[in-house]
Structure 1
Amino acid sequence: MITTTTLNAAIDKTYYVKQFKLGASHRATEVFAEAGGKGINVARTLLELGADPYAMGFLGGNNGSFIQDELDKQGIKHDFIRVSGESRINLNIIDESDYSSTEVLESGPVISVDELEQFRTKIAAQSKRTPWMVCSGSLPRGVALSTYAELIEIARNNGTKVFLDTSGEALRSSIQAKPFFIKPNEKEIAELTGQSVADEDGLFANIHALMNQGIACVTVSLGEKGSITGYQGRLYRATVPRLEIVNTVGCGDAFVAGMVVGFSQLKSIEECIRLATATGSANALTQSAGYVQMEEVERIKKIVNIEEIQWTSSK
């Protein structure tokens, strides 16, 4: 079982339009509405990869009921705290002329002290039953920046390895809790270490700095240039040939799902990175976040290139 947490779940609504222009009216060619939020996207991808996801978090109002119904239809086990507010709706407008994406994200409900305490209690119990947990996405209103750090510490005390995929202050406030895995971008990793990333040498040094702080695995996405992953003192570069991208939303979530599945199946780090890269890339070929086709994952795995980077600090 792999547990996912989505503290700020959403209905993800995607509109496809012929040519998106600011200030103009558009008629959508296709519309999709699905249960979303980064942790839910991870759970859906885990299911596609043959894993056993268990989704947790907060849901509120009619939107929350829609999300719960969608999870039931998809066969994803879940245990969400019902809150007094309304779960958010996120809009994603995709321009079919170049498949660029424009997003409008709602803030979501305010979580009360009692609701958060109920969730902590559930996480404490769940972490005794699951060896792997994924904490993903933004923190909802009313929740302290230290919340992810608290959840990580609860899980770690019960022997659960936590994959953390968040950003900004929520990420910076969580590093001290030593999650097993993080996925910062180039700007964030410099903020986490206080060291600039002027070139790849600086990036490699920052990844090593985070591993030395007790974070087992660090992946930095480089967009079309692939990714760099650090694990057990070694560095690995992953690249994949250019694909016909349809939708980039959820690719990072799919990458995390592939990585945690790889670790849960005791694969080598190279195999974990290969699966994660292929899964993230396969998500880009679909119209909705968190959906991958296994035949595409297997096809892309064959063309992913993994190389170990031979690097020695110049300092």
Structure 2
Amino acid sequence: MPLESPVLSYHGPFPHPILPRNPRLAYPVFPPSPRSVVFSCRGVGIQDSPPKHGSGNGVVQQDWKLRSAGVKDKDMDVATLGNLCVDIVLGVPKLPPKNPHDRKAFMDRLSASPPEKVRQYWEAGGNCNIAIAAARLGLRCVAIGHVGNEIYGQFLLDVLCDEGIGMVGMSEDTNVLDGPSALYETLLCWVLVDPLQRHGFCSRADFSKEPAFSWLRGLSKEVKMAIKKSKILFCNGYGFDELSPNLINSALDYAVEVGTSVFFDPGPRGKSLCNGTPEEQRALSQLLRMSDVLLLTSDEAEALTGIKHPILAGQELLKKGLHTKWVIVKMGSRGSILITMSNISCAPAFKVNVIDTVGCGDSFVAAIAFGFIHNMPMVSSLVVANAVGAATAMGCGAGRSVATLEKVIEILKMANLNEDDKFWNELLAENLSAQEITFLSKFVINGNKKQLKHIALQKVVSELLPKLESSRAEGKVRS
């Protein structure tokens, strides 16, 4: 039975029967508008430059440039590296088999089906989730990556433009490229949902030993400019599915050189990268050592350190890091932890009606970037991130369905914490080497232990709401 999505279902007359109308777009996303694929939104500073066609391989010959004249240093907030894809959300009778050969055959059958014969919904995926969530918090964002010159790529550009997110293509000169056109097409990720609402994911990157865009070998001047002008460069483990380890390392080295903070979320790929090729292992090691902020789940922290306790695992990552300031462990429905060399901050999650958890981790990252850039207290950064992740979980899917500021403010005002005292007491009972532990509670508890400092949620929220509501009043963000 196909997935019936209340967010993406088709209701209106426009050219294509399978593409949903974006409720936030004033025009259908198909067919693509005849404008340039490069755009300037929300002061992003992207110089319009029409694409050059005619290469015959389906790739946009990207001549996308950042304006340098009159631009201050670090006038961008967040740049995302790679991992730009279109999610095709599809209801299936059962999830694909685990066997790689059978799984590929399953995906090939899906890909071979004419669009008109498949009940499907399209959404911007990958790092688009982070960029959209960050832009809705008022941050200035640019996506660095590759999209092809086909309807999927045009759809992705339409979504980014509508959300006020700039785009810088990674390919500098595609005239020299040669090979099957599929190599240059926008990466598609099939998001498969069975009748029990369980998710399965697959894309062509899952079935190749080489990254999907292995033909990208160096950083163009435009990409370097985007990194240099951004306060944060975000990378994640899925970037290795598209870009070579050497190229990712080059971006990391350049960010460090120009003083751009690096956020890295290894995701599920962290474990496989630990056992990957020598190049992957070296790149992973460099990212763990040189990133300013590491974000990972407790399972991922254990996989990378061999330490089950999330706080001790985070402290181990801090010790091994050269630039690492924050290690953040995402604990799902229980909340999150931020670890520094001198402090541990813990924030239980918010209780909400969860519909879909896809995109929650990405939204969380965007809010951590918001707190980092605005030099907010660490526990306040966790509170915003937990609220943004919860707001995304209340929607269906990611992309344009990630948290809106209006929903985030609503969750903060409700102040409904999922306080699991037993879990947190056991977690904090360990002999943790930190000067201070800050713990978010619904109420301040008298008689705090010397090491443990409780902070009231209401105090944090009262300081956060004026900042967020000011952004909404000024029309900086989408509500």
TM-score calculated relative to the size of structure 1: 0.82
Cross-structure match for 1:9: 84
In 2: Cα distance, 1:229 partner to 1:6 partner: 24
Q: Give ranges in structure 1 of 5+ residues lacking alignment.
A: none
2:193 is the alignment partner of 1:90: no
2:309 is the alignment partner of 1:190: no
Change (3 A) 1:42 1:147: same
Alignment-mate amino acid for residue 173 of structure 1: S
Number of residue-to-residue matches in the alignment: 298
Cross-structure match for 2:410: 299
Cross-structure match for 1:47: 135
2:214 is the alignment partner of 1:111: yes
- Deviations 1:125-182 (Å, cap 9, x if unpaired)? 2233222221235135574334433322211211111111233216733335421111
In 2: Cα distance, 1:143 partner to 1:21 partner: 31
Change (3 A) 1:124 1:311: farther
From 371, 376, 380, give the equivalent of 1:262.
Answer: 371
In 2: Cα distance, 1:249 partner to 1:42 partner: 12
In 1: Cα distance, 2:291 partner to 2:189 partner: 28
Shift of 1:225: 2.4
From 155, 167, 176, give the equivalent of 1:66.
Answer: 155
Cross-structure match for 1:205: 312
8 A contact 1:4–1:40 mirrored in 2: no
- Secondary structure (helix, strand or coil) at the match of 1:43 reads helix
Cross-structure match for 2:383: 274
2:331 is the alignment partner of 1:229: no
- Secondary structure (helix, strand or coil) at the match of 1:89 reads strand
2:199 is the alignment partner of 1:101: yes
Alignment-mate amino acid for residue 144 of structure 2: M
8 A contact 1:94–1:100 mirrored in 2: yes
User: Which one has the largest radius of gyration?
Assistant: 2
Cross-structure match for 1:246: 355
Cross-structure match for 2:394: 285
In 1: Cα distance, 2:82 partner to 2:95 partner: 32
Q: Give ranges in structure 2 of 5+ residues lacking alignment.
A: 1-75, 97-116, 175-182, 206-210, 274-279, 434-479
Shift of 1:101: 2.1
Change (3 A) 1:162 1:303: farther
- Deviations 1:227-277 (Å, cap 9, x if unpaired)? 222124322222224422122111110000000011111211111111111
Cross-structure match for 1:149: 249
Cross-structure match for 1:181: 293
8 A contact 1:277–1:304 mirrored in 2: no
Shift of 1:5: 2.3
From 129, 138, 145, give the equivalent of 2:238.
Answer: 138
Change (3 A) 1:298 1:231: farther
Change (3 A) 1:225 1:188: same
In 1: Cα distance, 2:237 partner to 2:284 partner: 14
- Secondary structure (helix, strand or coil) at the match of 1:116 reads coil
Cross-structure match for 2:431: 312
Deviates more, 1:266-275 or 1:224-233: 224-233
In 1: Cα distance, 2:388 partner to 2:242 partner: 34
Alignment-mate amino acid for residue 80 of structure 2: T
Change (3 A) 1:204 1:8: closer
In 1: Cα distance, 2:89 partner to 2:377 partner: 36
Q: Greater strand share, 1 or 2?
A: 1
Shift of 1:96: 6.3
In 2: Cα distance, 1:244 partner to 1:16 partner: 22
8 A contact 1:246–1:284 mirrored in 2: yes
8 A contact 2:314–2:327 mirrored in 1: yes
Change (3 A) 1:57 1:159: same
- Secondary structure (helix, strand or coil) at the match of 2:132 reads helix
Cross-structure match for 2:121: 32
Alignment-mate amino acid for residue 59 of structure 1: V
The percentage of aligned residue pairs carrying the same residue is: 24
In 1: Cα distance, 2:242 partner to 2:383 partner: 38
C-alpha RMSD of matched pairs (Å):
3.0
Change (3 A) 1:96 1:296: farther
